[in-house]
Amino acid sequence: MNTPVTEQLHPNAIGLDARPLSDVAALLAQSQAKAASAPLDTVDPICEGAVTMAATIRAEGVLRYLAAGSSGLMAAADALELGGTFSIPAHQVRIHMAGGLPSNAEMPGDVEDISTTLTDELADLTVRDTLIAVSASGTTPYTVAAARIARDKGAKVIGIANNAGTELLQLAHHAILLPTPPELVSGSTRMGAGTAQKIALNMLSTLMAMELGHIQDGMMINLRADNDKLRARANGIVRQLTGVTAEQAASALTAADGNLKIGALVAAGARSAEAAHALLNEENGHLRRAMNRLKHKNDNINLGETK
């Protein structure tokens, strides 16, 4: 039986402990850099997975991030940022980690073999949901069992693994293979494999936000300005998008109750926050398209007035 790549010995591992720390540090950085390029080999399924995630959010479904061990930490890190970065509602994101999220520095290892808890954990899973299942080996019992349950319930499965041909990838609707090389410290998949996983997860969630219209010109435009830092950021984004003054941006955001997209449309000339909201809904939440329509409408009005 072939040893999975994630468990193989790295060519530079022999005698590693006898080398100067500076040499080892350089090898560690090089191995991480090589692992970081792995998502470039699987851009298409990442894009397809992101579209599926966006469809789940639009359908009021739930994104379920699920994994064990180090992969669970990577998955949780992405899930926990969706609210603050893109204002994805908390009730639409769920984290499932074998044994639960750790509350101290001890993370049990045996729980990844236990799948009996999944019946309860995934009891409310629906066809509108998307399961993002992560496993470096691609064979973790907890993760594979969850993918089976999700498929049986009609939910979509995004599978992320670092070994080819594994059961998780075979079960996934969107199979994301991250072909990272063996770890410099054999089997320590929190290193290279984890780095590639984090990049792939960041790509999925960011592309999902693009699909939902939450990013424009590289700016997070779906934030709700409900504290001083976010109010300042929102003000700057509205000014960047519309060319208004800081005072005008603040007034527009106040009228929009802190909603940046609505505030930008008000600043761009929408007659009210309600009208801006209706226009944005017509464009499925995409601010650029809504602003283009508003500009076209205002240009026609101005043209009519000059005749």
Q: Catalytic positions, please?
A: 81, 112
Contact (CB, 8 A) for 90 and 155: no
Q: What secondary structure letter does DSSP report for 224?
A: B
Contact (CB, 8 A) for 252 and 238: yes
Contact (CB, 8 A) for 285 and 88: no
Q: What secondary structure letter does DSSP report for 176?
A: E
What's phi and psi for 75, nearest 5 deg?
Answer: -65, -45
d(CA 253, CA 215): 18
Q: How far is CA 142 from the centre of its chain?
A: 21
Pair of tokens at residue 197: 């996983």
SS3 (DSSP) at 57: helix
Contact (CB, 8 A) for 227 and 214: no
Contact (CB, 8 A) for 276 and 265: yes
Contact (CB, 8 A) for 22 and 174: no
Beta strands across the sheet bearing 174-177: 93-97, 63-67, 130-135, 156-161, 174-177
β pairing state of 63-67 and 219-220: unpaired
